Amino acid sequence: MTDIRFALAQIDTCVGDLDANADKVMHYAHLAAAQHAKVVVFPEMTLTGYPIEDLALRGTFRKAAWDKANWLATELAADGLDDLFVVVGTVGTDRENSKPRNRLVVLHDGVVWAGYDKHFLPNYGVFDEFRIFSPGNKSMVLDVDGARIGVAICEDIWQDGGPVAELAKQDIDLLLTMNGSPYEEGKTDTRFDLAVRRAAEVNAPMIYLNQVGGQDDLVFDGGSFTVDADGTLLQRSPMFMEDLALFDLDTTAERQSVGVIADKPDPDEEVYTACVLGLKDYMAKNHFKGVCLGLSGGIDSALVAAMAADAVGGNNVYGISMPSMYSSDGSKDDAADLANNIGAHYDIQPIEPLFVAYQKQLDLEGVAAENLQARIRGVIVMAYSNSKGLLAVATGNKSELACGYSTIYGDAVGGYAPIKDLLKTRVWEISRWRNKAAAAGMGIGGLHVVGNESGSAGVPLPDGVMIPVNSIEKAPSAELRPGQKDSDSLPEYALLDQVLAMYIEHAHGRADLLADGFDEATIDTVMRLVDRAEWKRRQYPLGPKVTALAFGRDRRLPITNAFRE
C-alpha cells in the first residue's frame, strides 16, 4: 500500500513578479510540509504569473524565470524541504526553435527534477497561445514513492486525445492537473463534469488545481477540487480566496476517502465576488490605495461604489456628486445615502457653473449639450484621480456598452470598469443580493476573497442596508435633460437584455433573432445600436470578465465594418 498526501496550494500570483511568486511558493511549501504532505501542487505558470502574453517572447524574461526556478529548488533544499515534491508552473524555452513553452516543473532534492510542457494550446476566447507558445510533449508520469502520477496542464484535459489519452494507457494512480482557468458564470459545473470524464478515462482520481485572483480583465476563482475515478467529489477548496487543501491518496483502495468540501456560493454572490476580487487585485497589483467615481444616485454607480467599499474599505472610496440643473433631489439624496452607508468620502461638485461657461462659448444643443455635461463630470473625476492618486472607476454596465449609451471621455473615463460585463438586469439582481447579504450581517469587506480570509463579517452597515432601495427601484435615467429616462432611447431593459444576450453572447444574426421570437423593430434597433458602438467599446476601460463572452478579448470585431444584416 502507498499512502501519499497531496497539498493543493491555490494561490494568487502576479504576472512578472518572480520574487514575490517564488516567496509565496516557499511559504506554502513550508505549510504543506508541516501538514506532512509529500507533494504540493501550484497553479499554471506559478512563478511567472498567468497569462504572461508577449512577456513570453522576451528571452530575458524567460531566463529570469528559469533562474528563479533553479533558485527555488536550491532554497527549498536548504530549508530542509528536499524530500518534498513541489510542482510549479513557469515558462521554458524550446531547444529546437527557441520558442516559449508553458511548462510544469517538479522541484525535488535541490534540483529541477522533471518537466512537462503543455501539449494543447488554447486559441479561443481570451486565449491566444498559438502565437506565443510551442506545443509540448504528449504525456509524463512521475514516480512518487512507487505511485504513478500522471500530469497535465489546463487545456490538455479539455481536449480529447493527447496527454490524457496517453496516460489512460499507462496505469496511473492519479491524474494531477495545474490550471489557470478564468471565471465565468456556470463554469464551475462545466469543469467538474469535465474532470469526472477524465477521471473515468484514466480510471484514477484526479486533482484539479486552479489559480485564484485578478489579472487585468480576468478573474481566477480557485475552487480547486479532487474527484474519484467514479466521479465522487472528494475535496473542494473555497472560491476566490487562497487556500491550502489536503488530499490523501491510497493507491490500494478501490475508493478514496472524502475530505473537506467547501460550500458553493449563491450564483449572485459568485458574480459579485468575482467583480470585487477583480477590482481589489487590479488595485493591489498596480499600487492604487483608493478609488474615485461619480455618484449619481443611480443603481450603476451605487453598485460600483459598494463593490469598491468591499474591495478596499469605504474610507478609501471617494464619491463625487456632480449635480446639474436637471438632477432630481431624490437622486442627490440617494447618492448621499449610499456614501453614508459605505463610509465613503463624499464631495459635491455642482457642474452648472462650468456648463454655463462652456455654453457661453459653444452654445450647444441636443445630444451635444447632453454629452457636454457628461464630459464635464469626467474632467472632475479625473481631476480627483490625478490630484489624489486614486483609481478612477467607470460605472457603465454591459447593456449600455453594447448600445453605445455612454459618453466617450465623459462617464466612460477611468482606469477600471467593475460592472462592464453585467447586463442592466443583472445589475439589479446583484444589488438586491448585496442588500440581502447586508441584512443578514455581511458588513463592508465581509466577502471571503484573497486578502480577506479571516471570515470577518466586515464593518457593520447602518440599518443593515448597503445600496439605497430607491436607487434599485426607480426608473433609470441619465438626467441630462428634463424628464429623461433610459427607455426614451432604448427598449425596456428586460427585453433589451434578452436580445443582447442572444446577439452578443450567442452570436445570433437577424434571422436567428427573428426565430427566437423577437419583433423586427426591436431587433433592427438593437443591432443598429450595437454595431455602431464598436469604436466606443474599444476605448472603454477594462473590467472583470464574468460571462461567457465579454467585450474585449472575447469579441474582436473591426471598428470599420460596412456589413449590415
Is residue 321 marked as binding?
A: no
> Which entry of 154, 275, 292, 403 is annotated as an active-site residue?
154
pLDDT at 97 over 90: no
Helix (H) or strand (E) holding 156, with range, is none
pLDDT at position 543, please?
A: 97
Report whether 318 contacts 347 (CB < 8 A): yes
pLDDT tens-digit map of 122-143: 777 777 776 777 788 888 999 9
Residue-level length of the chain:
565
Strands (E), 328-412: 345-348, 391-392
**Cell numbers describing residue 317:** 472610496
Catalytic residue among 14, 44, 129, 280: 44
User: What pTM was estimated for this model as a whole?
Assistant: 0.94
Catalytic residue check, 264: no
Residues 6+ apart with CB under 8 A from 43: 9, 10, 11, 13, 50, 89, 178, 179, 180, 209, 210, 211, 212, 220
State the DSSP code for 28: H
What's the mean pLDDT when you consider all of the chain? 92
Q: Do domains 3-252 and 269-483 have the same CATH topology?
A: no
113 Cβ contact partners less than 8 Å away, ≥ 6 residues apart: 73, 85, 105, 106, 107
Domain positions in the chain: 3-252, 269-483
Measured CA to CA, the distance from residue 167 to residue 297 in angstroms comes to 58
Query: Does residue 455 surpass a pLDDT of 70?
Result: no
Asked if pLDDT for residue 1 goes beyond 60, the answer is no
CA angle 377, 379, 380 (to 5 degrees): 65
Whether the pLDDT of residue 524 is over 90: the answer is: yes
- Hey, CA dihedral for 251, 256, 260, 261, is it positive or negative? positive
Angle at 317 between CA 305 and CA 331, to 5 degrees: 45
Q: Span 384-389, mean pLDDT?
A: 97
Q: Using omega within 30 degrees of 0 as the cis cutoff, is the peptide bond preceding 353 cis?
A: no
d(CA 498, CA 241): 33
Query: Is 296 part of any known ligand binding site?
Result: yes
Name the catalytic one among 38, 118, 285, 545.
118
State yes or no: 285 annotated in a binding site. no
> Which value, in Å, is the radius of gyration of the alpha carbons in the chain?
25
**CA angle (520, 521, 524) in 5-degree steps:** 85
Residue 211: pLDDT band with limits 50, 70, 90 = very high
Q: Is the N-terminal amide bond of 100 cis, ω within 30° of 0?
A: no
Residue 445 reports pLDDT greater than 70: yes
Give the three-state DSSP class for 82: coil
pLDDT tens column, 336-380: 999 999 999 999 999 999 999 999 999 999 999 999 999 999 999
The answer to whether 214 is annotated as binding is: no
Helices (H) and strands (E) in the chain, counts: 16, 18
- Residue 282 C-alpha from the chain's centroid: 10
536 known ligand binder:
yes
CATH number among 3.30.70.890, 3.40.50.720, 3.60.110.10, 3.40.50.300, domain 3-252: 3.60.110.10
Summarize the confidence of residues 548-556 as an average pLDDT: 86
Does the pLDDT at position 560 exceed 90?
A: no
- What residues form DSSP beta bridges with 318? 292, 345
Residue 118 designated active-site: yes
pLDDT given for residue 485 in this prediction = 77
299 among annotated binding-site residues: yes
Which DSSP letter does residue 48 get? Answer: T
Domain over 269-483 is classified CATH 1.10.240.10: no
